[in-house]
Amino acid sequence: MENKGLRTVFLLGGLPKPRIEKRINLALKHSSVSLICWDKSGEGKTIPDERYDKYIYPIKSSLDFATRIKPYFEYKKKAIQKLNEIQPDILHTPGLHMAMIGYEYYKHAKKKPHIIYEIPDLLRMVVEPQNSLIKNIAQKYFRYMEKKCCKVADALVITSEKYYDVHFSKFVDRSKVFYFPNVPDLTAFESYEKTKHENFTVGFIGVIRYKRELINLIQAADELGIRLLIAGDEIDGDEVENALKGKGFVERIGRFNFSESAAQLYEKCDVIYSVYNADLQNCRIALPNKLYESIYCELPIIVAKDTYLSDLVEEMGVGVSVDHTSLDDLISALKELMLYENYSKYVKNCRLYKDEMDLNNFSAQYIEFLRNRIKA
């Protein structure tokens, strides 16, 4: 891992998110880096970072299972062609769809790469019950392929311990797994200062995909007369954008650069909203980056009940849990948080855990783990 002559490729199903940017920054200390990216917007987006090579393929796609098959195979063909040119020593594949492309390349590569398979989320098609014959067949195929991918991988990186307990423990040896929580890159928060606001403000910062839960927040804020900050792209429809029309109490910010904007966005908030659809298996056991960022910024967090996330939030006393379907439950939680004595208690507890949000510590452990797993 110390050999600067190593070539590391990140094979991505989209432009790099903050979690992957952390891995890239770490890889650059030990090897040259190239990115192979799928720009699903088809717009020809760019990455303004000159430290590494970038190969971005603008192939328009959607979230619909059936219609994204053709563009996926088009991207797969281009990605494998580029991998054959680069012949990486280390191949980092986040998510099963990218791992499957990596596996296909691995099978035929003359020089076998060391594969790091990172699991940011459990794929819904793999872990959730399916309601059609075609999707049941697809599920069996994906489960079969996931085992193949795990077998050739040198390391599995998980962002929640529960991913292993609930799923991967059935077919992956624990010695192959590294737990790397979504702790923030603190350089993005160097200018952050906790700020007192005239109007109580709840912030949602991230990709908008769980619409019902966010629409509940908009309705609750309207009823209570509080302010909202909603920052991030909405995917798969515009239900939230429509719900925001005419809402003067909402500050709406679209796609943003995390490293440049995180401190400023979190300064605008008194509370962070991170309520996802707890009916889904992945949401019940995932640990989103918002948990760690809110603790570091000393901002109480609202999460969904009956999840691994809510267990940790309640154990640490850094926020509250709500029924993700209940508007009344959310309104009651917000009223509780708005009381000074309650709010101060949660902020104090955030400070108790703030020192544990140390990316450098986890990064050092990660490199040592890879050094033992990858003999390069």
Distance (Å, whole) CA 11 – CA 20: 10
| pLDDT value for 75 | 97
| pLDDT value for 3 | 56
Buried (b) or exposed (e) across 209-246, using 16+ Cβ within 10 A? bbbebbbbbbebbeeeebbbbbbbebeeeeebeebbee
Please, which pLDDT band fits residue 2 given cuts at 50, 70 and 90? Answer: low
| pLDDT value for 84 | 97
Give me the mean pLDDT over the 313-321 stretch.
97
Give me the mean pLDDT over the 338-344 stretch.
96
Mean pLDDT score of the chain, rounded to an integer? Answer: 93
**Structure tokens given for 261:** 């904007």
The answer to whether residue 151 scores a pLDDT higher than 90 is yes
For the chain, the domains span 7-182+358-373, 186-356
Q: Pick the closest to residue 240 from 207, 192, 263, 273 (CA basis).
A: 207
Write the CB contacts of 39 (distance below 8 Å, at least 6 apart in sequence).
14, 15, 45, 56, 57, 58, 59
H helical segments located in the chain: 18-27, 69-86, 96-108, 124-127, 133-152, 161-166, 211-224, 239-244, 258-267, 281-285, 289-296, 308-316, 327-338, 340-353, 359-373
Please, which pLDDT band fits residue 338 given cuts at 50, 70 and 90? Answer: very high
CB-based contact 301:316 (threshold 8 Å): no
User: In three state form, how does the secondary structure of 34-93 look?
Assistant: EEEEEECCCCCCCCCCCCCEEEEEECCCCCCCCCCHHHHHHHHHHHHHHHHHHCCCEEEE
Give me the mean pLDDT over the 278-288 stretch.
93
pTM of the model: 0.85
| pLDDT value for 259 | 85
Note the CATH number of domain 186-356.
Answer: 3.40.50.2000
**Structure tokens given for 250:** 């909402």
How does strand 155-158 pair with strand 227-231? unpaired
The answer to whether residue 18 scores a pLDDT higher than 90 is no
| pLDDT value for 147 | 97
CB-based contact 34:79 (threshold 8 Å): no
Do domains 7-182+358-373 and 186-356 share one topology? The answer is yes
The answer to whether residue 196 scores a pLDDT higher than 70 is yes
| pLDDT value for 113 | 96
| pLDDT value for 4 | 61
Note the CATH number of domain 7-182+358-373.
Answer: 3.40.50.2000
| pLDDT value for 67 | 79
